[in-house]
Structure 1
Amino acid sequence: MDTKILGGKIAKARKEKNMSQAQLAQLLFISPQAIGKWERGESIPDIVTFNRLAEILGVDLNYFSENFQSADVETVFKMAIEGAGDNEQTEQEVENFSRSSEQQLLTNFSGSNLSESDFAGVTAHKTKFKGSALRGSNFAGADLTGSLFSGSDVREANFDGANLTDCTLSASDLSDASFNKSILVRTEFSKSGLTGAKFTGIELSDTKLTMTDLRKTIFEDCIFDGVDFTYSDLRGVCLDGQTFIGVKFHNTALNEASFKGATLRNVSFRSPYALTNKYYRAIQTISFDNAIMDKLTYAALKGVGADLSKVTVK
């Protein structure tokens, strides 16, 4: 196998994917210098890396051999396993290493350009998307338990029916993302952009929506159980007809918010600092018309001057 020809093929496929050496190296968990050596013909990947490289670059494995003959790649494989001595033992080691490497690769997509990618229905626990481009990607029905989305562009992504249990979505742009019937259990949204994001038909359980601007976020037909809205901005948000159990609105901006026909039980409203005239005026702008409350929630709101004239206490 001519290593310079192989290097040229790798470089060509990489550039056609609009991918830098650094980006490719990150996906392979190696150094950018290693990619440079391959492309200059100074070294070649091992067989495990060949397989993953073909997958990332979207080419057939035979693409890397001269004249597209598979014999050359097979030769590399044989050299890799024969050099270790015991053939049977080495094959097992190669298989174990392959599985381990693939698992690492498949659970870390940090820094990747994956706009409009199709992840629908996949099972990918504890996957990392840090600084990733995921605009318009489809995660519908995916099981993403324990995954991390941090500092990423996730605009217009589809999370309909996705399992986001124990996921963290922080400092990310989730504008216009869809969360229809998603599973949100101990899910954490913090310091993220949710303009135009839509949460429909969901039970949010022990979920955190903290330090986030939610003024243009859409909530419809939701149950909020143990949800924490601390330090978030909910001014003008419509929450009519929805259910709130054990919810914290601590240091939360709620001016002009609407809870018409909502059910509130054991809900806590706490002022930013002291009970100032400004805070009283803000509470008075919230509509609780036709809402149903337990006695403790009613008493807490009555104590800060909320208009509860059309509230039912049960």
Structure 2
Amino acid sequence: MSKDKKRQYPMDSKMIGNKIAGARKKINMSQAALAGHVFVSPQAVGKWERGESMPDIITLNQLTKILNVDLNYFSENLSSLNTLNEAEQITSEVKHLTDSPQPQLLTNFSGNDLAKTDFAGVIAHNLKFNGSNLQGSDFSGADLTGSTFLGSDIREAIFNGANLTDCSLSACDLSAANFDQAIFVRTKFYASALEGAKISNTKLTDVKLSKTDLRKAVFENCIFEGVDFDYSDLRRLSLDSQTFIGVLFHNAALNETTFKGATLKNVSFRSTFALTNKYYRAIKTICFEGATMDKLTYASLKGLGADLSKVILL
């Protein structure tokens, strides 16, 4: 590389490169291994360490976790930068990556150990978290539109106020996760466990929960519109005081499910297969005490033998 080309990079790139190399060697990690963690080539890592280029701010944030260093590790001794406050600015940007939309450079976080990671406020679409450890991570207020979670450990994660539009969560453990005021539009849950998960103060629109275990999930102050509970397990689940509009409970396990005080409009409980005595018996165990429903929903449930003695007709 010519001297002229080297001059295109600021003096601090060399210092940051030395810090990356030092931290990497301290944990006995090769350049190739580090490259694999942040989805770049080993040659790119080599250029960083030689000061020929610099990682972007998002990658720098990832490096702090991989190399087990503090954010200030990369910002100390930067007094030679163009402005007096630029060192502090770098640290601030790394801590608050998502205060404003940024060019999205990282999308694949599959296979990563990201337990208790702070993703709060992130604006990042179409992310991939396949086989990732996200236990206890904070996605509060994040916009994760179109993201995929497959086979991931998401226990105790916080999705309060998160935008989960068009997201897919398949074969995930979401036990004790919190979804207060989350945005659910066309969100898909498949073969996932939500034991102790809490979904509250929100509207679920065109959401599909297929083959999902909801037996010990908690729903509070929710509106379900166009939701499909296909083959999901809702046994003994309390859906009291919730609102259901155009919802399908086809092939769902509903033994002893309660809808006390709930509102049901155009809701279907029919199985797509031939109705069996077992299905009729399950319908009879559902509690609709104090529920309000339209005439068509009422007629459908009456035909299935449901106890509607304490139902209020709209």
- TM-score of Structure 1 vs Structure 2, range by shorter chain: 0.7 to 0.9
Q: Given that residues 123 and 144 in structure 1 are in contact (C-alpha distance below 8 angstroms), is that contact kept between their aligned partners in structure 2? A: yes
Equivalence for 1:91: none
Out of 22, 25, 41, the position equivalent to 2:35 is 25
Contact 1:174 1:194 in 2 (8 A): yes
Q: Which residue of 1 aligns with 2:121?
A: 121
Partners of 2:287 and 2:249 lie apart in 1 by 15
**Residues 234 and 60 of structure 1: CA distance in aligned 2, closer, same or farther (over 3 Å):** closer
Relative to the length of structure 1, the TM-score reads: 0.76
What secondary structure does 1:209 align onto?
strand
d(CA) in 2 for partners of 1:146 and 1:291?
35
Change in 2 beyond 3 A, CA 1:19/1:130: farther
Give the counterpart letter for 1:24 in structure 2.
Answer: L
1:26 Cα shift? 3.1
| SS at 1:264 equivalent | strand
Secondary structure of the corresponding residue to residue 35 of structure 2: helix
Q: Structure 1, residues 250-286: CA drift from partner, whole Å, max 9, x if none?
A: 1000000000111101101122632211111111000
Distance across 2 between alignment mates of 1:291 and 1:62? 57
Alignment of 1:117-196 (within 5 A): 117-196=117-196
How much has 1:128 moved relative to structure 2? 1.7
**Structure 1 pair 302–118 and aligned structure 2 pair: CA distance change class (3 A):** same
Separation in structure 1 between the aligned mates of residue 137 and residue 205 of structure 2, nearest angstrom = 25
> 1:309, CA displacement in angstroms?
0.8
Quickly say closer, same or farther: Cα 1:19–1:218, change in 2 above 3 A: farther
Which whole-Å CA distance do the structure 2 matches of 1:232 and 1:178 have between them? 20
Instruction: Report the secondary structure of 1:175's partner residue.
Output: coil
Alpha carbons of structure 1 residues 30 and 234: separation in structure 2 relative to 1, 3 Å: same
Who is 1:104 aligned against? 105
Contact 1:28 1:52 in 2 (8 A): no
Shift of 1:55: 3.9
Aligned residue pairs total: 274
- Cα 1:311–1:134 change in 2 (3 A) is same
Report the TM-score when normalising by structure 2.
Answer: 0.76
1:56 maps to 62
**SS across alignment from 2:104:** helix
Q: Post-superposition shift, 1:25?
A: 2.5
1:262, 1:291 within 8 Å by CA — same for their partners in 2? Answer: yes
Secondary structure (helix, strand or coil) at the match of 1:244 reads strand
The alpha-carbon distance between structure 1 residues 23 and 228, as it changes in their structure 2 partners (threshold 3 A), is: farther
The answer as to whether partners of 1:121 and 1:141 remain within 8 angstroms in 2 is: yes
- Structure 1 unmatched ranges of 5 or more: 1-5, 72-100
* Matched ranges for 1:1-314 at <5 A: 10=20, 13-14=23-24, 24-30=34-40, 46-49=52-55, 54-58=60-64, 103-105=104-106, 107-271=107-271, 273-314=273-314
Contact 2:117 2:134 in 1 (8 A): yes
**Which residue of structure 2 lines up, in the alignment, with residue 86 of structure 1?**
none
Question: What SS is found at the alignment partner of 1:47?
Answer: coil
